[in-house]
Amino acid sequence: GQQLNQSPQSMFIQEGEDVSMNCTSSSIFNTWLWYKQDPGEGPVLLIALYKAGELTSNGRLTAQFGITRKDSFLNISASIPSDVGIYFCAGQPSGSRLTFGEGTQLTVNP
Amino acid sequence: ETGVTQSPTHLIKTRGQQVTLRCSSQSGHNTVSWYQQALGQGPQFIFQYYREEENGRGNFPPRFSGLQFPNYSSELNVNALELDDSALYLCASSLGGGGWNYGYTFGSGTRLTVV
């Protein structure tokens, strides 16, 4: 089946630093999504990308849909303590299912 | 606009028992998907329901079954529970049709523990 490789698995950064994480796939996706999950909660959608090469921002977050349609990255600028959580990429080939990466655990030290 | 609501929030069951989890979709959404998230893992797709029919299934055995009702709410049923079924079960609603799904929105999940 389709596999998503998400890296890094974890990051420990200082408040104010920028963060970058990425996902790669062996298969092509038509949609890339980035979610954040806090403990005991469901994933919350941060950014959705629907077109190869698309670069989209949401406040301090920026994500890009790779031109090959097999990768995506998420950048967070000027991190703050509330950015702490697990970030997941998810790819959607078409139709029903999302395939999730294993997540990046972000810790921000004040 | 109401979000996706799931019930119950927590549940403890004994191995071999059966469980039913419930999900109310977000207003305006017609498609419901269920995911299983083991501790420390990303969510894994179980199945999706569109217009009360199963519309895609992941690699889960037949003892995982579901229903969608005319109001687009949904149930996930798991029979013959096994210890490995312990996980966070997430429901997501979206607007689907024509092979596409938009606005995937997740509920807070049901934490199932099988002992």
pLDDT in tens, B50-107: 989 998 899 999 999 999 999 999 999 999 999 999 999 999 998 876 556 677 889 9
Q: How far apart, in whole angstroms, are the C-alpha atoms of residue B56 and residue B37?
A: 18
Task: State the pairing for strand pair B5-7/B44-50.
Answer: unpaired
Does residue B104 sit at the A interface (CB-CB below 8 Å)?
Answer: yes
Name the B residues in 60-89 with CB < 8 Å from any A CB.
Answer: none
Dig out the tokens for A88 from the structure: 């997941």
How does DSSP assign B80-104, residue by residue? S--GGG-EEEEEEEEEEETTEEEEE
Confidence at residue B102, expressed as pLDDT on a 0 to 100 scale: 72
Nearest to B78 by CA among B88, B66, B93, B91: B66
Which residue on chain B is closest to A39 by alpha carbon? B108
User: What would the mean pLDDT of B37-46 be, rounded to a whole number?
Assistant: 94
Would you say residue B4 has pLDDT above 70? yes
Confidence at residue A93, expressed as pLDDT on a 0 to 100 scale: 79
Which residues in A have their CB inside 8 Å of a CB on B?
Answer: 1, 4, 6, 33, 35, 40-45, 88, 90, 92, 94-103
Task: State the pairing for strand pair B5-7/B10-13.
Answer: unpaired
Confidence at residue B97, expressed as pLDDT on a 0 to 100 scale: 65
Which residue among A42, A95, A99 places its CB closest to the CB of B107?
Answer: A42
Cα distances from A99 to residues A31, A41, B45, B53, B75, in angstroms, run 11, 19, 7, 21, 21
Which residue on chain A is closest to B50 by alpha carbon? A96
In chain A, which residues have pLDDT < 70?
A: 1-2, 95
Confidence at residue B101, expressed as pLDDT on a 0 to 100 scale: 67
Nearest to A76 by CA among A44, A99, A47: A47
Q: Find out whether A92 and A30 touch, Cβ atoms under 8 Å.
A: yes
A76-95 tens-digit pLDDT? 999 999 999 999 999 987 76
Scan for tokens 């702490």, then name that residue: A84
